[in-house]
Amino acid sequence: SFKCLVEEVTATSRHYVDRLFDPDPQNVLQGVIDMKNAVIGNNRQKANLIVLGAVPRLLYLLQQSSSSLELRTECAVVLGSLAMGTENNIKSLVDCHIIPALLQGLLCSDLIFIEACLRCLRTVFISPVTPVQLLYTDPTVIPHLMSLLSRSQHTQEYITQIFAHCCKTPEHQTVLFNHGAIQNIAPLLISPSFKVRMQALKCFSVLAYENAQVSMTLVNVLVDGEQLSQVFVRMMQRDKPIEMQLTAAKCLTYMCRAGAIRTDDNCIVLKTLPCLVRMCSKERLLEERVEGAETLAYLMEPDIELQRIASVTDHLVSMLADYFKYPKTSVLDHDLKHAHELRQAAFKLYASLGSNDEDIRKKITETENMMDRIVSGLSESSIKVRLAAVRCLHSLSRSVQQLRTSFHDHAVWKPLMKLLQNAPDEVLVMASSTLCNLLLEFSPSKEPILESGVIELLCSLTQSDSPALRVNGIWALMNMAFQADQKVKVEIVRALGTEQLFRLLSDPDTNVLMKTLGLLRNLLSTRPHIDQVMSSHGKQIMQAVTLILEGEHSIEVKEQTLCILANIADGNTAKELIMTNDDMLQKIKYYMGHSNVKLQLAATFCISNLIWNEEDGSQERQDKLRDMGFVDILHKLTQASDPNLCDRAKTAMQQYLA
């Protein structure tokens, strides 16, 4: 019976462990060898031996200098075999401190023993359950591993594989770089062993990722007299194994993104990009298609020329549509995972493709069911897919034409609004940024979004800790206020609250400040709106304007502020707030004589509005300002070299002449 069988297995396992404690070293050795033969490919046996405490004893024997080399080696082999089992096995081994023990073993001079230890370490480190930090705890380990690279093809394979898996952060990259990883590993790229070449290549891809220092060094490395980039190009040849082509393309992509290779270099334009497009083909494995699309998206993100080339290469845009044909519903978990991975990779690549060129965006939206796919992607269960879908939508929303047509036709604002509720920050950033574009004045979606009561949500974004979310919140409000009804403006001011408005005017992030000023400017447009807002919030606004004009701010900020002042000066009642404020008038005078033309222009606008003829009390205002010396300044400005400024000053002067 089954129970009987289990007991039997346990009994034999027990026997194997008992033999490890035999007083005769010969018997112990034979016991370890028998154990080795018993555990190969037998996961239950492995689990049994671990439960019965074989690991600490094996580690003890491995570490004892009194043990024979043969015994120590066999122990390392058995431990390596145990590590090949389930993730639980690895956890148990790591808990027994197998890593420091094996690393210690590497100090031995015997190559066979070193190789057995490295093989086991390799298996442990490439498991997702092993904390990679364990490789870096002892600072002597990395240099020692570097020195072992010269010992044999096996040490090369295992060590490079460990590095490739354990280099996860910029700190790891720096440690490996500082210990000569590049010089030590570069020669392995032309090793006679495919496995060594492949693992060395993987090392370079993880080392170069978002690392300018590594990338800049890599371009100058020669391998057997050949530039490293050319070695990578050869590895991308179409008769090479796909894994090698893909990894070499990643290396070149990372070097390019880190600024070490120009985006118009032939090795990128004619080799890396086409190679990555090929990886997206239906013939490739799912994992390869995902990695290929993600890497390609990353490669061309900042470069419109690469985006244009990719968009016509091998029908990439329609090839990506196939990524959505993998079954969405499946009983198998890993099928679902593949489906998610494929879709998010496709969305990312579409986002990158369409980020700059209007024609490409058009091509993407015209791809079969594309907008429907994005819309349904926005509400998928997987966060990764939702994020990628909204990124794609954001990229496409930069197109005026698409906003007017496909975005409206597919009512993308609905799922977008839904996405904005309770989403994680990274999704929120993308979604709110997209919303900003949907709220542009020519967007037909603006009306329904307003009606959906989005203002509260946007106002809450302006209170976020994330500057990106604050910017997007206030930006969206700014777009919303542009040429809006009085009702909407009142609602914005009410919902945001003056307190929050003034808090935003002192925001440490310049972008937030700029957009807030923009909002103010949009609120203060058309005369009745100006007078109404100023009658209720005039005092605070004037205070804020004073503060900004007195503070240390950029030209753009001050220009925007002077524009607000000019808007105020355009109001019927509001302009009195300036006329009665001599301090403010002095400030305007100062900026009319500023060295920056933009500020001069904005300040002149303001005065021009104040002295405009056809309005009540214009005579008094003209007189006061003449007395304050503004006419002289205006006269001087009519001689200005800048034609706009000159015109504006002349127009203002005419008000006096009339």
Q: Which residues bind other proteins (CB under 8 A)?
A: 237-239, 270, 274, 309, 312-315, 319
CB of 280 to other proteins, least distance (A): 11
Closest distance of CB 356 from other proteins, Å: 16
Separation of alpha carbons 69 and 485, rounded Å? 87
The phi-psi region of residue 440 (left if phi > 0; otherwise alpha if psi is between -120 and 50; otherwise beta) is beta
Tell me the two tokens of residue 278: 């090929």
Query: What single string gives the DSSP state of each residue in 218-244?
Result: HHT-EETTEEHHHHHHHHTSTTS-HHH
Shortest distance, position 318 Cβ to other proteins, whole Å? 9
Residue 126 or 242 with smaller CB distance to other proteins: 242
- The answer to whether the beta carbons of residues 9 and 52 sit under 8 Å apart is no
Q: Least distance (Å) from other proteins to the CB of residue 341?
A: 24
In the chain, count of helices (H) and strands (E)?
A: 43, 2
Strand partners, 222: 227
Q: Which is nearer to other proteins, 242 or 631 (CB)?
A: 242
How many CA atoms does the CB half-sphere of 294 hold within 13 Å?
17
Q: What does the block give as tokens for 560? A: 């925007």
Look at residue 184 and give its three-state secondary structure. Answer: helix
Question: Which residues, other chains included, contact 647 with Cβ-Cβ below 8 Å and sequence gap of 6+?
Answer: none
Of 312 and 400, the one with the shorter C-beta distance to other proteins is: 312
Q: In this structure, what token pair is assigned to residue 568?
A: 């105020």
Q: Which is closer to other proteins, CB of 138 or CB of 314?
A: 314
Of residues 112 and 321, the one with the C-beta less far from other proteins: 321
Task: Return the number of the residue (215 or 272) whose C-beta is nearest other proteins.
Answer: 272
- Cβ neighbours, 10 Å, residue 547: 14
In this structure, what DSSP letter does residue 509 have?
Answer: S
* Nearer to other proteins among residue 349 and residue 541 (C-beta): 349
φ and ψ at 223, to 5 degrees?
-115, 110
Q: Rounded to whole angstroms, how far apart are CA atoms 223 and 42?
A: 43
Q: For 271, which DSSP code?
A: I
Instruction: Find how far residue 262's CA is from the centre of its chain.
Output: 21
CB of 652 to other proteins, least distance (A): 52
| CB of 630 vs other proteins, minimal distance in Å | 58
* Smallest separation, CB 239 to other proteins (Å): 4
Query: Measured from the CB atom, is 83 or 252 closer to other proteins?
Result: 252
Nearest distance from C-beta of residue 363 to other proteins, angstroms: 9
